[in-house]
Structure 1
Amino acid sequence: MDEHTRSSHADSDLFGNRFATREVPSRTFPASGMSALDAMRLVSQDLALEGDPARNLATFVTTWMEPEAQRLIATNLHRNFIDHAEYPRTAEIEQRCIRMLADLFHAPGPTTGARTQGSSEAIMLGAMSLKWNWRQRRGLDRDSPQAPNLVFGGDVHVVWEKFCRYFDVEPRIVPLQPGKYTIGPEDVEPHLDENTIGVAAVLGTTFTGHKDDITGINDLLVRVKSERGLDIPLHVDAASGGFVWPFLYPDSAWDFRLEQVRSINVSGHKFGLVYPGIGWLIFRERADLAQDLVFTENYLGKTDETFTLNFSTGSAMLLAQYYNLVRYGRAGYRYVMTNMQTNAQALAEQLKAMGRFEIIGEDEEQLPLVAFRLAGDPGYDEFDIAWQLSAERGWMVPAYTLPPDAHEVTIMRALVKETMSREHVDTLARDIDQACGTLDKKGSAHASERRKVVTGPGH
């Protein structure tokens, strides 16, 4: 190393990051390493360019936890959840969470379930169990030419279509309609037959935050079982709503209180208030988990059963979920959800008062969010408002078109989370009004956006 290089390194150690004027490693595997301080600075500077989570009203994922929970997470990042021989108390804590959630969802007796990476894995597992149990009910082997099908609405997460494609199941998708963004029994009934492995209904859709008519679909399936002898199970995709409805709408029956609901998934990293990724799959009864999906292994020093798609996975978020369950309890979760709902209602009232927007489904049971669209054609659209809000004020308020056959409808969605105070709500409302005022003067920011086909808001 020459004198100039030594001097340059010394200066970077004294004054700052040596990548301040150098290109960062990005194309080839580095020939040599760097100090821990330099590595930390490099990554931190990259991340400094990302958005502000407090202004991201698009994501359902938790972006804040209490300092005590953060310390618990930090001190348990090394634990591999699957290693029950070394970490038996972590395995016990998983079972505690499963029992608590089964109780929250009114399971009638002893049951089972699993911690997953998120609702996507939980849905895959739940849907696989539907398929395996259908095959068993029909007395079919794996080589049977009978083609299974699964019924769900266009308001589901894309993972349901992924499952059907990955596991050779025919998707029978009920299209949405303008003004009707969830599904009910009248939509489901024409698609049912002896090869239907199940029906999936959504509690808290990504698009508008509402729920399918789960009670009505359950009643239909009970009648079909009685009249046609078809025992078709109902899976509730409660990824977002599973930690909301029990506290905001406790008398609303959507869970195991309904006879045909056999399995439920929920995301701990959404309204369960845990950082990503943590999800849960809960069965009504142990028999609802197809035993062919359960594997036994003993190569970690203890004989264990496993049926998750992932094997090695961190324990930290599982422990954080248990922290939240015991930290908040029913009263605490109710308090948090009620605060979010109150602020969402305040935002909806301010948007209505502007005279520019239509609030979607405000009188229905809903996640703590506001789904809204322009009430007329002011010469710009919802995509323009979303862009203007981001450019001027840094807010991420997504605009998107709905799934077929409601794809001509464009809406916006503002998710009101735990960290969004009333002052934030008032500021957002003013910023939306000002963004519209700017667009009133200059017109559409992106005329091409009106012709763009957007599949949905994503999770």
Structure 2
Amino acid sequence: MTTPSEINAAAALYGNRFVTQEVPSREFPDVGMTAVDAMRLVAEDLALEGEPGRNLATFVTTWMEPEAQRIIAENLHRNFIDHAEYPRTAEIEQRCIRMLADLFHAPGETTGARTQGSSEAIMLGALSLKWNWRTRRQAEGGSTDRPNLVFGGDVHVVWEKFCRYFDVEPRIVPLQRGKYTIGPGDVAPHIDENTIGVAAVLGTTFTGHRDDIVGINDLLVQLKQERGLDVPLHIDGASGGFVWPFLYPDSPWDFRLEQVRSINVSGHKFGLVYPGIGWLIFREVSDLAPDLVFMENYLGKTDSTFTLNFSTGSAMVLAQYYNLVRYGRQGYTYIMRNMQENARLLGDKLEAMGRFELIGRDEEQLPLVAFRLTGDHPYNEFDIAWQLSAERGWMVPAYTMPPDAHDVTIMRALVKETMSREHVDTLARDIEDACTTLAAKGGAHESERARMVVGPGH
């Protein structure tokens, strides 16, 4: 009979000891293992996950150049918040903020911050809206106990989180069938003296379109002139902030508009950086509520901080700067146009099948295809999503729209930098084959369909 010590010795010599042993999963291990064993254990778990290149649900970057990966790997040990030890990293953050402020047409001196992503940036931006509103109301002698925030049903869930976490009334404009963004007429009835701001989306998660930002801005300018209500506009550019400047440079949505006071953008989406980087940019320094800024000196020098997170890695800040100087306007424009061209091609192929309706393809849109079935079929969009995943490994999400368009189900294929013309052709064939298979067998099994209900992604 082979003893445990002999089994371990053989595994060390010939292979992986966890081929037949249960992996640690519930109790804290009493003893450790070799570095090779630990590496193989983690690697074999990850081998069961999906292929990032076929994940068309996520907006998050899944590929960077080898040179960028090297910068990331060599700077994982740097704590970004420690400006005394890493002053050049702090300077690089400020360079990125100034470059983004320039990209978004800030009129003069501004400020901002790097964040873990757009969720943190939105929390900070909305907090500044609340604090500034409170200051205005106190100066007017008004009550400050009933703040509200106006946004559409097309926002990311983080906006509702902010309202719940920080005691703000959410005034959510419902969507409608065939109308999946909001405009000034939708917003106007919800604004009053307790409105801390309006949030508009540049590139929604659901269909990739933008709210009528110009129209909302014009409404807010009118309210300021006629009623004395100075309601700021925050732009949630999590996805679109790195798309519109390059695909639609003449389309105003940013600080060119008077009431736009702050913008968030995700570097780890179309900024083309791996997960862990977002940005908050203010129009002017005064748009950052001073009460949100804290001074600390326990890391070797006095520094100001107004992010929700404190210690965090420097690597993604450096990776963002790498991309900004590596690509510039010309490079980002080239990449975005390539993605847009492949999205148009995929849309053409889907329309040619005669089964699908494309959602707003002639409007300004992120490089994606939002589509839904037309006509009568023995299967639905969730069935197609399941069939593509089970048979071909594609993640193409199906989901219902927010109220009051919740009876509408759509699918969305995000076209990313790594998606080639060949990939587009293959995906289109696989979608058509999936529909043919589903038509023959009458849809996916009900339990599988329920398992594959996929949200709109992040």
Q: Which residue of 2 aligns with 1:237?
A: 236
8 Å CA contact retained: 2:137, 2:143: no
Tell me how far 1:338 sits from its aligned partner. Answer: 0.4
Q: Measure, in 2, the Cα distance between the counterparts of 1:454 and 1:192.
A: 35
SS in 2 for 1:207: coil
State the match for 1:150 in structure 2.
149
1:401/1:455 contact within 8 Å kept: no
Summarize the Cα distance change of 1:73–1:402 in structure 2 as closer, same or farther, 3 Å threshold. Answer: same
1:14-53 correspondence to structure 2 within 5 Å: 14-53=13-52
Aligned equivalent of 1:91: 90
Q: Does residue 332 of the first structure (1) align with residue 326 of the second (2)?
A: no
* SS of 2:17 mapped into structure 1: coil
Q: What is the CA distance between 1:141 and its match in structure 2? A: 11
Match of 1:390 in 2: 389
CA displacement, residues 65-91 of structure 1 (integer Å, 9 cap, x when unaligned): 000000000000000000000000000
Tell me, yes or no, if the aligned pair for 1:401 and 1:409 is still in contact at 8 Å: yes
Structure 2 Cα separation of the partners of residues 259 and 455 of structure 1: 38
Cα shift readout 1:240-297 (whole Å, capped 9, x = no counterpart): 0000000000000000000000000000000000000100000000000000000000
> In the alignment, residue 221 of structure 2 is paired with which amino acid?
V
Distance in 2 of aligned mates of 1:314 and 1:339: 31
Deviation digits for residues 185-220 of structure 1, max 9, x if unmatched?
A: 000000010000000000000000000000000000
Is this contact kept in 1: 2:396–2:412, CA < 8 A? yes
State whether residues 403 and 456 of structure 1, in contact with CA within 8 Å, keep that contact through their aligned partners in structure 2: no
Structure 1 residues 44-97: Cα deviation after superposition (integer angstroms, max 9, x where no partner): 000000000000000000000000000000000000000000000000000000
Contact 1:188 1:217 in 2 (8 A): yes
Q: Compared with structure 1, are the counterparts of its residues 78 and 334 closer, same or farther at alpha carbon in structure 2 (3 Å cutoff)?
A: same
Measure the CA separation in 2 of the matches of 1:170 and 1:252: 31
Aligned twin of 2:182: 183
Alpha-carbon offset, residue 144 of structure 1: 5.2
- The runs of at least 4 aligned residues of structure 1 exceeding 3 Å deviation read 140-145, 446-456
- How far apart, CA to CA, are the structure 2 residues paired with 1:166 and 1:5? 52
Q: Distance in 1 between matches of 2:141 and 2:90?
A: 33
Q: Distance in 1 between matches of 2:452 and 2:129?
A: 33
CA distance in 2, matches of 1:94, 1:68: 19
The Cα shift of 1:5 comes to 2.8
**Residue 313 (structure 1) aligns with:** 312
Aligned residues: 458
Q: Is the Cα–Cα contact under 8 Å of residues 80 and 312 in structure 1 kept in the other structure?
A: yes
Structure 1 residues 209 and 43, CA, compared in 2 at 3 Å: closer, same or farther?
A: same
* Conserved? CA contact 1:156–1:205, under 8 Å: yes
Distance 2:98 2:446 in 1: 52
Provide Cα deviations, 1:404-423, integer angstroms capped at 9, x if missing partner. 00000000000000000000
The superposition leaves residues 2-45 of structure 1 with CA deviations (integer Å, 9 ceiling, x where unpaired) of 98333222221222111110000001000010011100000000
Distance in 2 separating the partners of 1:134 and 1:215: 22
Kindly tell me: are residues 364 and 291 of structure 1, through their superposed partners in 2, closer, same or farther at Cα, counting changes over 3 Å?
same
Contact 2:398 2:454 in 1 (8 A): no
3-state SS, counterpart of residue 265 of structure 1:
strand
- Rounded to whole Å, the distance in 1 between the matches of 2:93 and 2:103 is 15
Identity of aligned residues (%): 81
The reply to whether residue 138 of structure 1 matches residue 137 of structure 2 is yes
Aligned residue in 1 for 2:6: 7
Q: How far apart are 1:449 and its partner, in Å? A: 8.5
State the AA in 2 paired with 1:67: P
Query: Where does 1:24-423 land on structure 2 (aligned, <5 Å)?
Result: 24-139=23-138, 146-423=145-422
Distance 2:142 2:452 in 1: 40
The DSSP-based 3-state class of the residue aligned with 2:18 is coil
The one-letter code sitting in structure 2 at the alignment partner of 1:191 is H
- Structure 2: any 5+ residue segments left out of the alignment? none
Distance in 2, matches of 1:22 and 1:330, equals 53
Partner of 1:436: 435
User: Distance between the aligned counterparts of 1:187 and 1:416, measured in 2?
Assistant: 31
Q: Which amino acid aligns with 1:136?
A: T
* Greater mean alpha carbon deviation, residues 169-178 or residues 3-12: 3-12
| AA matched with 1:75 | E
Residue 446 of structure 1: how far off its partner (Å): 3.9
Deviations 1:338-390 (A, max 9, x none): 00000000000000000000000000000000000001121110000000001
CA distance in 2, matches of 1:447, 1:5: 46
* Alpha-carbon separation, structure 2, partners of 1:390 and 1:380: 15
Query: What runs of 5+ residues in structure 1 fail to find an aligned partner?
Result: none
Alignment-mate amino acid for residue 102 of structure 2: D
TM-aligned CA distance change 1:143 to 1:214, over 3 Å: closer
TM, length-normalised to structure 1: 0.97
C-alpha distance in structure 1 between counterparts of 2:454 and 2:390, whole Å:
23
Letter in structure 2 aligned against 1:38: D
* Equivalent AA in structure 2 for residue 282 of structure 1: I
Q: CA 1:453/1:63 → structure 2, altered by over 3 Å: closer, same or farther?
A: closer
1:140 deviation in Å?
Answer: 6.6
Q: What amino acid does structure 1 have at the position aligned with 2:393?
A: G
Distance (Å, rounded) in 2 between the aligned partners of 1:36 and 1:155 = 46
TM-score, with structure 2 as normaliser: 0.97
Are the equivalent residues in 1 in contact too, given 2:203–2:210 (CA < 8 A)?
yes
Q: Which moved more, 1:3-12 or 1:261-270?
A: 3-12
Contact 1:135–1:141 (Cα < 8 Å) also in 2: no
CA RMSD of aligned residues (A): 1.8
Pair 1:420–1:219, CA change in 2 (3 A): same
CA distance in structure 2 between the partners assigned to 1:345 and 1:369 by the alignment = 8
The answer to which of 355-364 and 136-145 deviates more is: 136-145
Report if the CA contact (8 A) 2:134-2:144 is conserved: no
CA 1:453/1:320 → structure 2, altered by over 3 Å: closer, same or farther?
closer
Pairwise CA distance, 1:118: 0.1
1:218 touches 1:258 (CA, 8 Å); kept in 2? yes
Give the match's secondary structure for 2:3: helix
1:381–1:444 CA contact under 8 A, matched in 2 = yes
